[in-house]
Amino acid sequence: MKDSAKSSRRQMFRLGAAVTGGLLAKRELAAQEATSKLGIPLGPYGERSPFEKAIRWTRDSKTPETGSSFTPLADSVGTLTPSSLHYERHHAGIPTIDPVQHRLIIHGMVERPLSLTMAEIRRLPSVTRTLVLECGGNSGSEWAAKTGADVQRSHGLVSCSEWTGVPLSLVLQEAGVKPGAAWVIAEGADACRMERSIPLAKAMDDILLAYGQNGEAIRPAQGYPLRLIIPGWEGNTNVKWLHSLKLTDQAYMARDETAKYTDLMPNGKARIFTYDMEAKSVITFPSGGQTLPGPGVYELTGLAWSGHGRVERVEITTDGGATWTQARLQEPRLPIAFTRFRLPWLFEGRDAVIGSRAIDETGYVQPTREALIEVRGVNSGYHYNGIKLWKVHAAGMVTNVEV
Amino acid sequence: MWRFSLFLCCAALLPAQPAKYGVGRPATLDEIRGLGTAIAPDGTGLPEGSGTAAAGQELFAARCARCHGDKAQGGVGPVLVGGQGTLATAKPLKTVGSFWPYATTVWDYINRAMPFDQPGALKPPEVYALVAYLLNLNGIIPANQAMDAKTLPKVKMPNRDGFVPDPRPDVGRKR
């Protein structure tokens, strides 16, 4: 009995060794094959390696034309988001627009109502800027602590791209703004004709009529062929598929600036025209859903940004906020763009609560969740920028402390 | 309130200038009309026509109820009724009736975006009727009051004065 049990165990061992050996041999063979076999020929439009699996996450919906998809921040390296992984928020699906047919109409309180083709817009003096775009509702789930298990779900409605376009001020001057005009009503060519009111002062300052993203035409999901890019303002104001700009003397109180994208306070009053996205940061490694293989030194890393300019400092805590250490920032630090921060950390195999806080060039310090809630309650929905804490468990798993 | 905002100052700074690049061509009236209507809170842009809650109720049952529920209680689409008096509570319910500050916005949004899967299919009298129905359902106008370009902007929504300007930075200390 004993003997046979032993021998069968030995057999299993041998079997196991054979299987592992086989796997190893197979892997070596594959590596050899790569060098002993011709590769795939050149192609007209690039694809990533089939081994790379990072994808956007989309919440299930009975009306998938309105909804959002989240950037996989934990998989991102550097400071740019690939256009293919840029977050999406649409209210009526992605329209298919032929750029040859598309026109931008500038009308209302202007001297010369204008109709511009894409070719005409592209002829005008352009500028290129790297800018972060963040949905006003990003990490809104953290208010009520019914939030995502990982950084993609909790913070993924933010992305950073290089945008190219014509200053809106230039085109408005072409049309000649009439005295008394104070607002620009922007409208998209999607099925709900998304509409937002934009103060003329901002329109004359730094808004772009963007047609380029990361070196090519803007993707359909990002507003092809033309969208507004409004530095530092909530994503919803950056109207996509732009086809109309109407100059007016009043805000139009569109659904997406009254019923939505207003911030309800505990006293029942809602803040309106809350355009700015304040300084924010989040650790992307280690972050929710990941596991550290064991104690040792790891480089903590993450992203910081501010709608008000450059990120000046990022500080990191590994003891739940008791002490803070300055992280190293990747240069160049561009205003209103992702700034990557890094800090080596010794994980001792004990529970640790880690987090980051950004300080921007205005001196603004990213607040704690508690400080935000004390003033705004938990029902304001938008513009959440609290310090994000992750719990690293002794065994190495990482979880969202707010889950 | 939002008409005479701080931003007005900037328009005054822009003297009338000739076009510098001379690109594009003048927009035609057809092009501007083709964009459809955008409605201002004072009613600017509202087209002719009128509608009542009774007509709106029929339309709603036929074209909206399958997503918003037969009593506008919500379904695939959001709830469109109730919530008044809840905004300052722990469970605020934001609806057309409890939260939206202007009736013109209800007209504008239904006209441009609904029905969700057939946007732009409604004619102005139908939009007036649907707005009348939703406002009546929310106890804001009587059942017999017709909505048109004159009456709609005069409707005082319960939460008209429920909005305040952005006071940020309100949290996040300065160094």
- B66–A contact, CB cutoff 8 A: no
Cβ-based burial of A96 (10 A; exposed 0-12, middle 13-18, buried ≥19): exposed
Extract the runs of DSSP E, i.e. beta strands, from A109-168. 114-117, 127-134, 158-167
Mean pLDDT over B80-84 rounds to: 98
Residue A354 CB coordination number (10 Å):
25
Residue A403 has a pLDDT of: 67
**Domains defined along chain A, listed by start:** 58-144+157-271 (3.90.420.10), 280-400 (2.60.40.650)
- Pick from B105, B9, B18, B51: nearest CA to A180: B9
Residue B12 has pLDDT above 60, yes or no: no
Give the pLDDT confidence of A108-123 residue by residue, as tens digits. 999 999 999 999 999 9
Are B169 and A364 a contacting pair at CB < 8 A? yes
A259 vs B contacts (CB less than 8 Å):
94, 96, 99-100, 105, 109
Give the pLDDT confidence of A340-379 residue by residue, as tens digits. 999 999 999 999 999 999 999 999 999 999 999 999 999 9
**Domains defined along chain B, listed by start:** 49-158 (1.10.760.10)
B166 vs A contacts (CB less than 8 Å):
271-276
Mean pLDDT over A15-20 rounds to: 44
Residue A144 has a pLDDT of: 84
CB < 8 Å from B in window 162-191 of A: 170, 173-183, 185, 187, 191
- B142–A contact, CB cutoff 8 A: no
The token pair at A151 is 């950084």
Mean pLDDT over A35-45 rounds to: 94
Give the pLDDT confidence of A255-295 residue by residue, as tens digits. 999 999 999 999 999 999 999 999 999 999 999 999 999 99
Percent of chain A at pLDDT > 70 equals 92
Question: Of B20, B41, B169, which is closest to A253 when you measure between CB atoms?
Answer: B41
Q: In which band, very low, low, confident or very high, does the pLDDT at A382 lie, cut at 50, 70 and 90?
A: very high
Residue A20 has a pLDDT of: 47
Residues near A151 by Cβ (< 8 Å), separated by ≥ 6? A73, A74, A282, A283, A284, A287, A288, A388
**Helix B124-137 / helix B103-113 crossing angle, nearest 10 deg:** 130
Q: Which of A24-38, A181-195, A281-295, A360-374 has the lowest mean pLDDT?
A: A24-38
Give the pLDDT confidence of A227-237 residue by residue, as tens digits. 999 999 999 99
Residue B18 has a pLDDT of: 86
Residue B97 has a pLDDT of: 98
Residue B10 has a pLDDT of: 47
Residue B52 has pLDDT above 70, yes or no: yes
Cα A163 to Cα A160: distance, rounded to the nearest angstrom: 9
Q: In which band, very low, low, confident or very high, does the pLDDT at A311 lie, cut at 50, 70 and 90?
A: very high
Mean pLDDT over A323-343 rounds to: 98
Cα A245 to Cα A174: distance, rounded to the nearest angstrom: 13
CB B22 within 8 A of CB A171: no
Question: A365: which DSSP letter?
Answer: B
Residue with tokens 């902007």: B153
Residue A126 has a pLDDT of: 98
Give the pLDDT confidence of A51-83 residue by residue, as tens digits. 999 999 998 888 999 999 999 999 999 999 999
A262 vs B contacts (CB less than 8 Å):
163
Q: Which of A253, A274, A383 is the best substitution to test chain B (most B C-beta atoms within 10 A)?
A: A253
B96 vs A contacts (CB less than 8 Å):
259
Are A272 and B163 a contacting pair at CB < 8 A? yes
Secondary structure element (H or E) that encloses residue B9, with its range: helix B8-12
Question: A108: which DSSP letter?
Answer: E
- Pick from A123, A153, A149, A150: nearest CA to A140: A153
- Phi and psi, residue B126, nearest 5°: -70, -40
Instruction: Name, of A10-19, A140-149, A224-233, the range with top average pLDDT.
Output: A224-233
Residues near A302 by Cβ (< 8 Å), separated by ≥ 6? A281, A282, A283, A284, A285, A287, A314, A340, A341, A356
Q: Which of A16-30, A94-108, A267-281 has the lowest mean pLDDT?
A: A16-30
Residue A24 has pLDDT above 60, yes or no: no
- A213–B contact, CB cutoff 8 A: no
Q: How many CA atoms lie within 13 A of A61 on its CB side?
A: 17
Residue B172 has a pLDDT of: 75
Cα B119 to Cα B77: distance, rounded to the nearest angstrom: 14
Residue B3 CB coordination number (10 Å):
14
Residue A203 has pLDDT above 90, yes or no: yes
Distance of CA A218 to the CA centre of its chain: 16
Shortest CA gap B65–chain A (Å): 15
Give the pLDDT confidence of A155-174 residue by residue, as tens digits. 999 999 999 999 999 999 99
Residue B158 has pLDDT above 90, yes or no: yes
CB A252 within 8 A of CB B2: no
Q: In which band, very low, low, confident or very high, does the pLDDT at A196 lie, cut at 50, 70 and 90?
A: very high
Residue B174 has a pLDDT of: 62
More confident residue, A353 or A2: A353
Q: Which of A124, A193, A196 is the best substitution to test chain B (most B C-beta atoms within 10 A)?
A: A193
Residue A19 has pLDDT above 50, yes or no: no
Question: Of B7, B38, B112, which is closest to A192 when you measure between CB atoms?
Answer: B112
Residue A7 has a pLDDT of: 43
Strands A67-70 and A57-58: antiparallel
Residue B29 has a pLDDT of: 95
- B1–A contact, CB cutoff 8 A: no
CB A389 within 8 A of CB A320: yes
Residues near A319 by Cβ (< 8 Å), separated by ≥ 6? A352, A353
Residue A165 has a pLDDT of: 98
